[in-house]
Structure 1
Amino acid sequence: MAVSGTFLVFALFAFVFTHFLHCVISYDRPSSRDFVSVPLPNDLDSSSPQQVHISLVGANKMRISWITEDKTPAKVEYGTSSGVYNFSATGSTNSYKYLLYKSGEIHNVVIGPLNPQTVYYYCCGSNRVREFSFRTPSSQLPIKLAMVGDLGQTGWTNSTLKHIASSNYDVMLLPGDLSYADFIQPLWDSFGRLVEPLASKRPWMVTQGNHEVEKFPVLHTKSFTSYNARWHMPFEESGSDSNLYYSFEVSGVHVLMLGSYTDFGNGSDQYKWLEADLAKVDRNKTPWLIALVHAPWYNTNFAHQGEDESVEMRKAMEGLLYSARVDIVFAGHVHAYERFTRVYDGKPNACGSVHITIGDGGNREGLASKYIDPKAEISVFREASFGHGQLVVVNASDAFWTWHRNDDDEPVVADSVWLRSLEVDPNCKNMQI
């Protein structure tokens, strides 16, 4: 898959591009840990499935995605006992080119219907040597959602993934900036191999960030080529016409995955989709309503202040989320952690969303450690450390949020809060903007 002769070209461009960014960005980021590259293991051949990850499709199906170097069948065999595959399904295969790079064969197969809270064993393609397994989420609350943004491929990433793996989560939510390939396409392959041990066992639901754009002037003018090819999310099922924004439901939670780097203004396709999607939400079925977006709408860090993707998107869409009583909005982009009180239009509001920035997964650019002082009234807790979050939705009314700092490679709970769903607050039932 990787074209060795082009790697240095990509690396040189990335160095120049990154150096330019550091010259114009006004805040300093401390050094991250070393980059981690995950090569293809020696015991895998060109027909072996690699970079396996899964994602939810509707209430009882799962998309299995993987890559092979050779052309192999887009077929998944699966069952509830190891080595015994009573079911099979077929899907589609695609590939893409980016300058001189050509990807491997990217396979996507949707399997199901599946039973809730059940372990399934599966094999991909024509290769039965590698057996994988996953556990489906429960059909009802409680549910544990892992949350991490701006993940990257560093030593800190390894710590974060290790901590998440030990948390026994049900679904991973990632608000953008996955691989930090930044034009160097072989790094997408390395990232896929890095996250496979987790992403093949639990569904990963992702949205895009600025590092997924990868638009190259003149030479490659299409955005999100690799992201869209490799991370196919269930946008069709939610009525969206773009892999950059969609929604899904799991247990008693309706999740909005919004796109910071595609049109979001009033009248845009994304805006009209969001308006229609929110109108269909049944809070009796999904009492919790949360949203993910890459660029945070609220931010007291010096990093990424005043960007259109934050300011203009908030102006365009915050009213829709407020009217729908969205409980929590998670974001990435800023390489630090910050939790806000319930807020609307820049002010504390008991019926507004809790905004949480979780862009501290382990990226190579380091942490955004400079905050604006004095701290704004709406900011409750902020810290520039790598880590991850967990949201345990206990029942229709209560959820428990914890943020786990990577402290000397141990996951230390540094911030926590009980949250009450806006659906059960009688004062917010009939609110008007």
Structure 2
Amino acid sequence: MEMQSMIVVLTVLLVVGTGADYVRPLPRKTLHFPWSPKHSSHPQQVHISLAGDKHMRITWITIDKSSPSFVEYGTSPQSYNFIAEGESTSYSYFLYKSGKIHHTVIGPLEDDTVYFYRCGGNGPEFQFKTPPSQFPVTFAVAGDLGQTGWTKSTIDHIEQCKYDVYVLPGDLSYADYMQRKWDTFGELVQPLASTRPWMVTQGNHEKEEIPILKDGFVSYNSRWKMPFEESGSSSNLYYSFEVAGVHVVMLGSYTDYDEYSDQYSWLKADLSKVDRERTPWLVVVFHVPWYNSNYAHQGEGDDMTASMEPLLYAAGVDVVFAGHVHAYERSGRVYNGKTDTCGPIHITIGDGGNREGLAHEYLEPQPEWSIFREASFGHGELRIVNSTHAFWSWHRNDDDEPIRSDQVWITSLVGSRCLAERSHE
């Protein structure tokens, strides 16, 4: 026994002393949501999203189909000086019938202010904080969430982050045709999504299309309405929004994107309207990564890259976020497959905690444009400090502690020779 103990101690010392690679924790099971009775007119699955300048969209679901779609709100608890009327929708998916899905836009709102609100005149009071009107501003970022124990860990870590807006680059609930899982996902994220705006785009798990029988994205479009109309888009699958001094473009990897498509035309028009003096930072988000050195989903973004990468390059995009690959990777500034100081930084962050697990296998040798890569669950934080500098950090879920594993200061392309040269072309 003494010899065995000595071997164990020596092994531990050897591992610690040699700085062994991080050992990833085991997968965690899908969360269990026990049924609990709820009042039919009380709001459920409450989440909020930006809806144009100084406005917020409040979304919730009620079982009672006669419940009204208004929101009372104000800056003091249980004291509502304002009221806004909204709209509602619902959908059927074979034997499943959704509750009444309410969407109400409120505002105009003051910047960097806490508001208290109640949905439909019933149920508990909620509160949220509006983003600031100027720097600094912080975005929390994590894609491919799902509903596992690791999802819960990621959400808990994001809650600890003092963020202003959460950006989700696709794959939300992993319902995959089982519509009740959209409801449990709404329950899971409500504590966060009701307090800060969640800005999302679609992934492959949102499609849920059955040829001839069911169109794609029915549940996603019904439940997660984004400000596409406010940004001049004709589809909920792609849109843009602005917060503080940042213009954010949310694109759709699963709708047409070639140069003859509506999305391409909209993107070209949207980028042409960006005023870099007013919004010096330009960020783009979509699901399928264009720069990916993981074996998983290799090459799936090539067609979209060929079509849209020149538009992003010409506009001087600073950072691109993607999901889909269940791992983390950060590139340097890159364009057309090569390091380019005028190209965007690409960050793959499809590691929110989904049930499919991590993508462990990477291509070797590591491409010259790839700076940091690791297969772990986690989340990222982009803190834009001023018009020229931002701090990016990625926080690995190390058991139940968020460990900062990658970080970098990013300098915006605003004021650089890149944009100066293009303005004279």
TM-score for the superposition, normalised by structure 2 = 0.92
Which protein is bigger by CA-based radius of gyration? 2
Q: Which residue of 2 aligns with 1:107?
A: 102
Secondary structure (helix, strand or coil) at the match of 2:230 reads helix
Secondary structure (helix, strand or coil) at the match of 2:213 reads coil
Count of residue pairs the alignment pairs up: 400
Q: Sort the Cα spacing of 1:49 and 1:39 in 2 relative to 1 into closer, same or farther, 3 A.
A: farther
Q: Deviations over 1:284-317 (max 9, x none)?
A: 100000000100000000000122xx00000000
Shift of 1:224: 0.2
The separation in 2 between residues aligned to 1:34 and 1:185, in whole angstroms, is 19
2:327 paired residue among 329, 336, 360? 336
1:257 paired residue among 244, 250, 253? 250
CA contact (8 A) 2:25 2:398 kept: no
CA contact (8 A) 1:389 1:404 kept: yes
Backbone CA RMSD of aligned residues: 1.4
Secondary structure (helix, strand or coil) at the match of 1:236 reads coil
CA contact (8 A) 1:37 1:190 kept: no
TM-score for the superposition, normalised by structure 1 = 0.91
Q: Which residue of 2 aligns with 1:286?
A: 279
- 1:62 maps to amino acid: M
Q: Which residue of 1 aligns with 2:209?
A: 215
Shift of 1:424: 2.4
Q: Deviations over 1:179-224 (max 9, x none)?
A: 000000000000000000000000000000000000123432x000
Q: Where does 1:77-156 land on structure 2 (aligned, <5 Å)?
A: 77-127=72-122, 129-156=123-150
CA contact (8 A) 1:336 1:357 kept: yes
1:353 paired residue among 332, 344, 349? 344
Q: Where does 1:379-398 land on structure 2 (aligned, <5 Å)?
A: 379-398=370-389
Q: Which residue of 2 aligns with 1:12?
A: none
Secondary structure (helix, strand or coil) at the match of 2:381 reads strand
1:275 paired residue among 268, 278, 299? 268
Q: Deviations over 1:96-120 (max 9, x none)?
A: 0111111000000000010001000
Q: Which residue of 2 aligns with 1:409?
A: 400
- Whether 1:425 aligns to 2:420 is no
- 1:335 maps to amino acid: H
Q: Deviations over 1:147-177 (max 9, x none)?
A: 0000000000000000000112100000000
The separation in 2 between residues aligned to 1:40 and 1:160, in whole angstroms, is 24
Secondary structure (helix, strand or coil) at the match of 1:195 reads helix
CA contact (8 A) 1:56 1:203 kept: yes
Shift of 1:40: 5.3
Q: Which residue of 1 aligns with 2:158?
A: 164
Shift of 1:39: 4.5
- 2:258 maps to amino acid: G
Q: Deviations over 1:70-120 (max 9, x none)?
A: 120001001111110111011011100111111000000000010001000
| Matched-pair identity in % | 63
CA contact (8 A) 1:278 1:324 kept: yes
- Whether 1:47 aligns to 2:41 is yes
- Structure with greater contact order relative to length (CA < 8 Å, sep ≥ 6): 1
Shift of 1:279: 0.5
CA contact (8 A) 1:99 1:219 kept: no
- 1:344 maps to amino acid: Y
- 1:82 maps to amino acid: P
- 2:366 maps to amino acid: K
Runs of 4+ residues deviating >6 angstroms: none
Shift of 1:271: 0.2
- Whether 1:236 aligns to 2:247 is no
